[in-house]
Amino acid sequence: MSIAPDRLPADVLGKVQEPVLFRGLAGAWPALTKWTPAFLQEIAGDRMVTVVRGDREANRPDFVSMRLADFFAHCFRPDDGEGPTLYLKEFDLLEELPVLLRDVDFSPLEFPDSRSYHDAWIGQRGARTGLHCDIFNNFLTHIVGRKKVTVIPPRNTRDVYPSQKFDFCARLSSVNGFEPDLTRFPRFERALEAGTTYMLEPGDTLYIPKMWWHQVSSESPTISLAGFTVGKSDRITLLAEKARRVTHNLGLYRKGNCTCHD
């Protein structure tokens, strides 16, 4: 479903539980014109970040530590160059660089009795997030570049072959949805048939309801902000998920089978 920017999320999200694309909802955000590579490199300073090499959802996690300014330079270089694709995932950009808060406006995406958690996803062309579903509703607002998102309904969960791999606040698929092996995972063809693909442009916001499967690929260097909303009915779920993470970090739950440890 696609909605014009003058229709705010609250107008429709109480009536439907399916993805909704709000074209241009964030079109007036200063971030769309202000967050240039040069500007981001300048304000990044010497902050260090941990970035992902490749697709951690489909493969064993591979992390590298580097200066944030160097990552921006690598991500937005004019040519793709050689070497693995780098992706800065679930980065608390607005906490690390609070000066950027003045460039965004989440008020159309806030709801009573809910708390939102915002993180940034920044990647070079070809960066991917493998097929997964989140346990909370998500507003994915796109700021820089072009990003392709494919969503698959929860009714097709069996067809995506859920994985036992641990990922905080998410559930993963065993299938590489970008290059699926239909001989090994024949039911995945049904999932593809049920799916919908959206191409996000700067200023677009895609609402992805909880438990909808989705995968994401960057068609160019990209910056997006994810906004996960936790309502009253979600609080027990969040507590349970935090407990799951504690037991995992203690090595008592799915040790060595996760997206967070290499």
Residue 258 lies in a domain: no
- pLDDT given for residue 166 in this prediction: 85
The alpha carbon of 124 is separated from its chain's Cα centroid by a whole number of angstroms, namely 14
Tell me the pTM. 0.90
Tokens of 40: 């981001």
Residue 179 lies in a domain: yes
- pLDDT given for residue 65 in this prediction: 92
Our CA angle for 23, 29, 35, nearest 5°, is 110
**CATH number of the domain bearing residue 75:** 2.60.120.650
Contacts of 249 (CB under 8 A, 6+ apart): none
- pLDDT given for residue 83 in this prediction: 66
Residue 61 lies in a domain: yes
- pLDDT given for residue 194 in this prediction: 98
Residue 205 lies in a domain: yes
Q: In whole angstroms, give the CA distance from residue 58 to residue 250.
A: 23
Question: CA-CA distances (angstroms) from residue 103 to 30, 34, 35, 118, 186?
Answer: 5, 8, 9, 14, 45
Tokens of 198: 């959206």
Rg (CA), the chain: 18
Domain carrying residue 63: 2-249
- pLDDT given for residue 9 in this prediction: 59
Residue 262 lies in a domain: no
pLDDT tens for the chain, 262 residues: list them. Answer: 665 555 555 556 656 689 999 999 999 999 999 999 999 999 998 899 999 886 544 556 678 899 999 999 989 987 665 667 889 999 999 999 999 999 999 888 877 777 889 999 999 999 999 999 999 999 999 999 999 999 999 999 999 999 998 888 899 999 999 999 999 999 999 999 999 999 999 999 999 999 999 999 999 999 999 999 888 888 899 899 899 899 988 888 888 778 776 6
Residue 6 lies in a domain: yes
Contacts of 25 (CB under 8 A, 6+ apart): 5, 8, 9, 108, 141, 203, 204, 205
- pLDDT given for residue 175 in this prediction: 96
- pLDDT given for residue 169 in this prediction: 83
Residue 105 lies in a domain: yes
Residue 257 lies in a domain: no
Number of domains the chain contains: 1
Tokens of 255: 């040790």
